[in-house]
Amino acid sequence: MPRPETRPNPADTTQLQRSPVSLRRVLALFAPYRPQVGTVVALIVVSSVVALATPFLVRTVIDDAIPQQDVALLAWCVAAMVAVAATTALLGVVQTWLSTTVGQRVMHGLRTAVFSHLQRQSLGFFTRTRGGEVQSRLTNDIGSMQSVVTTTATSLASNATTVAGTAVAMAALSWRLSLLSLVVLPPAVWLTRKVALMRREVTAQRQARMADMQTQVEEGLSISGVQLGKTLGTGPAQSARFAATSQELVGLEVRSQLAGRWRMASMSIVFAGIPALIYLFAGLPATSGGMTIGTLVAFTALQGTLFRPLMGLLDVGGQLITSMALFSRVFEYLDLPVDIDDPARPRTLGAASGEVRLEHVGFSYDGDRPALADVDLVVPAGSTLALVGETGSGKSTLASLVSRLNDVTTGRVTIDGVDVRDLTLAELAQVVGVVSQETYLLHTTVRENLRYARPDATDVEIEDAARRAQVHDVLVALPDGYDTMVGSRGHRFSGGEKQRLAIARTLLRDPRVLVLDEATSALDNETERAVQAALDEVAKGRTTITIAHRLSTVRDADSIAVLSHGRVVEQGTHDELVAAGGRYAALAGSPTGAAAVPA
């Protein structure tokens, strides 16, 4: 099969201009495998050189062994041909094994490094980055980089060795025919590349339409997409759009296949035309130079092996740019600064009591407009603080600072007097548990979803946590109990059931500080009561910070802080704040508040 055209993609060139990559950095990835890489190169060179013996053996057979009926020489030549074939095949197997092993180990190192590095990124990175982009770099880009080792690098060494060795062997056989090749080969190469460029353009268009079709399938046939389409009645429109894309693919596929056939035809003309010209010149008295039949056959065989590696060498520039662009995209992620990281000299809390303090805390998402300003709050160990306020007042932002989903811009947040930035992220996650409005469940069993919070948890501990979260009865009623598959994003469970599963998951970690980020805001009244009962169970004996959507869920809090435009404007108990007649009383007296806060 012809090699795919590797003309530089404009997108790859742009990528390298935006994020250059030094060759030294790429080579450093392979530094631990120098012996293996050296062995691969040596095997390629030896294999290419050994293969060049075959044409000379053929010449000996045709010119000497057969005409002279020299059976011994014929046997030796045939045995040597078999030995050459066997040797090159064996060397090829070893070379493939070594190069693939090295490539896969390098890819493994990159995959794990990128995955681990991205996990350390703040939420801001994932907010501004498409999930598909992250997945593409982790899977497609790093997977494609394997070709740097198994294709680009090895083919460069192999092609260079083959071209050099073949040129020397051709000159040794016949310098006259070698000169002829210098005249014939360039236009043949130009023709083949010209046709290949045509196919490249059509293939790029076809791939773009295939990407469009894949997007339409993902958007139109996912659970959420189907629900949206049915509720909005957009099914016929989506089908028409899909049919249009599919119809466009028909024409592009035909053009792609024709372009491929034209390239095959041009290659066939080249492979047939060059030997024909060689035969012509070998038969002319002025250019034959007394050439033997064996020499002619050997030279033709060598000539046939020269075209492909020569084309490969001409494509190296495009292959190198493509490969370096892949490295550039991956290194871009590896070079991302980690906004929220473990401290250089971490402190430890030991047996945490759970007192939380926010001292002159300020925070800004964009470095310009403050989301929080000069917030001072104290939450004694084992007490409950409720945060209330209008949408955008800074409630969730403030809670995110306690768990270090974000870091303060000014001031500090402490637990038992220790700045949360001085704790390792692992210890902080052990001390601070978060239950948010949106519950994410993995596509695995219920048991493994719960065990995700604590991998060493026993089945007894898992079921105990589920009982305390008041979801055990729901789980045992499932077809396979705790071993039931959750399904994509937990769609088989109701909102209240997913929330109670999240509560059970948090209970397994047994945190001293609990952050409840509007955990019941999306639930109906009956479900909210069930989840609230579970939350009340979880909060016993823990320091709890609750972000309230309905004021009825926080009226019994030890302290309530009212936020407005990023500032604490009121603080006290429910009765104190209602009696004060301020903003909290206004919220409680609103239609929503009146329904949520009984008189």
SS3 label, residue 484: coil
Mean per-residue pLDDT, 526-544? 75
Share of the chain above pLDDT 70, in %: 82
DSSP-assigned states of every residue in 272-324: HHHHHHHHHHHHSHHHHSS--HHHHHHHHHHHHHHHHHHHHHHTHHHHHHHHH
Q: Are residues 269 and 122 in the same domain?
A: no
**61 Ramachandran zone, left/alpha/beta (phi>0; psi -120 to 50):** alpha
* Spatial contact of 358 and 567, defined as CB atoms under 8 Å apart: no
DSSP-assigned states of every residue in 159-221: HHHHHHHHHHHHHHH-HHHHHHHHHHHHHHHHHHHHHHHHHHHHHHHHHHHHHHHHHHHHHHH
Give the best-scoring range by mean pLDDT among 1-5, 286-290, 387-391.
Answer: 387-391
Mean per-residue pLDDT, 476-502? 80
Mean per-residue pLDDT, 553-580? 89
DSSP label at residue 483:
G
Q: How confident is the model at residue 11 (pLDDT cuts 50, 70, 90)?
A: low
Q: How confident is the model at residue 319 (pLDDT cuts 50, 70, 90)?
A: low
Helix and strand totals (H; E) in the chain:
26, 10
Give this prediction's pTM.
Answer: 0.68
Which has the higher per-residue pLDDT, 296 or 205? Answer: 296
Give the best-scoring range by mean pLDDT among 6-15, 259-268, 289-298, 375-384.
Answer: 375-384
pLDDT at 535: 73
Q: Are residues 49 and 120 in the same domain?
A: yes
Which has the higher per-residue pLDDT, 460 or 128? Answer: 460
Q: Are residues 142 and 220 in the same domain?
A: no
Q: Are residues 168 and 180 in the same domain?
A: no
Q: Are residues 131 and 15 in the same domain?
A: yes
Per-residue pLDDT reduced to its tens digit, 186-199: 776 676 666 666 66
pLDDT score of 585 more than 70: yes
pLDDT at 75: 93
Q: Are residues 162 and 255 in the same domain?
A: no
State the residue for tokens 């631990």.
32
Q: How confident is the model at residue 596 (pLDDT cuts 50, 70, 90)?
A: very low
Structure tokens at 89: 């095949």
Mean per-residue pLDDT, 553-575? 89
Structure tokens at 200: 């490249």
Question: What's the rounded Cα separation, in Å, for the pair 34 and 31?
Answer: 5
Give the best-scoring range by mean pLDDT among 289-298, 307-316, 342-351.
Answer: 342-351
Q: Spell out the SS3 assignment of 548-592.
A: CCCHHHCCCCCEEEEEECCEEEEEECHHHHHHHCCHHHHHHHCHH
Phi, psi angle pair for 523, to nearest 5°: -105, 155
Instruction: Please provide the size of the chain in residues.
Output: 599
Q: Are residues 100 and 187 in the same domain?
A: no
pLDDT at 3: 42
Which has the higher per-residue pLDDT, 134 or 424? Answer: 424
Which of 85-94, 167-176, 447-456 is predicted least confidently?
A: 167-176
pLDDT at 592: 45
DSSP-assigned states of every residue in 30-57: HGGGHHHHHHHHHHHHHHHHHHTHHHHH
Residue 3 lies in a domain: no
Q: Are residues 125 and 140 in the same domain?
A: yes
Q: What is the CATH number of the domain that holds 528?
A: 3.40.50.300
Mean per-residue pLDDT, 478-485? 88
* Spatial contact of 172 and 122, defined as CB atoms under 8 Å apart: no
Other CB atoms within 10 Å distance of the CB of residue 75? 11
Residue 186 lies in a domain: yes
Mean per-residue pLDDT, 172-186? 73
Domain tally, the chain: 3
Question: What's the rounded Cα separation, in Å, for the pair 597 and 550?
Answer: 8
pLDDT at 571: 93
Q: Are residues 441 and 586 in the same domain?
A: yes
Share of the chain above pLDDT 90, in %: 15
* Spatial contact of 304 and 181, defined as CB atoms under 8 Å apart: no
Which of 176-190, 225-239, 286-300, 570-584 is predicted least confidently?
A: 176-190
* Cα–Cα distance list, 413 to 356, 377, 472, 496, 527 (Å): 7, 9, 36, 31, 34
pLDDT at 194: 65
Provide CB contacts within 8 A for 472, sequence distance 6+.
Answer: 463, 466
Q: What is the CATH number of the domain that holds 143?
A: 1.20.1560.10
Which of 126-130, 155-159, 315-319 is predicted least confidently?
A: 315-319
Sheet holding 543-547, edge to edge: 432-436, 513-517, 543-547, 384-389, 559-564, 567-572
Q: How confident is the model at residue 415 (pLDDT cuts 50, 70, 90)?
A: very high
pLDDT at 305: 75
Mean per-residue pLDDT, 31-36? 90
The β-bridge partners of 412 are 359
Residue 71 lies in a domain: yes
Question: What's the rounded Cα separation, in Å, for the pair 359 and 346?
Answer: 20
Residue 298 lies in a domain: no
Sign of CA dihedral 407, 408, 414, 418: positive
> Residue 536: what residue type?
D
pLDDT at 380: 93
Give the best-scoring range by mean pLDDT among 57-66, 497-506, 543-552.
Answer: 57-66
Q: Are residues 555 and 592 in the same domain?
A: yes
Counting Cβ atoms within 10 Å, is residue 182 exposed (0-12), middle (13-18) or buried (19+)? Answer: exposed
Mean per-residue pLDDT, 568-577? 91
pLDDT score of 365 more than 60: yes
Q: Are residues 184 and 165 in the same domain?
A: no
For 537, the domain range is: 356-596
Q: Are residues 423 and 546 in the same domain?
A: yes
Question: What's the rounded Cα separation, in Å, for the pair 237 and 239?
Answer: 5
pLDDT at 4: 42
Q: How confident is the model at residue 325 (pLDDT cuts 50, 70, 90)?
A: confident
CA 573 to chain CA centroid, nearest Å: 49
Residue 343 lies in a domain: no
CA atoms within 13 A on the CB side of 320: 12
* Spatial contact of 73 and 60, defined as CB atoms under 8 Å apart: yes
Residue 2 lies in a domain: no
Residue 408 lies in a domain: yes
Q: How confident is the model at residue 267 (pLDDT cuts 50, 70, 90)?
A: low
* Cα–Cα distance list, 422 to 348, 413, 414, 415, 429 (Å): 8, 10, 9, 10, 13
Give the best-scoring range by mean pLDDT among 140-154, 299-313, 373-387.
Answer: 373-387
Residue 34 lies in a domain: yes
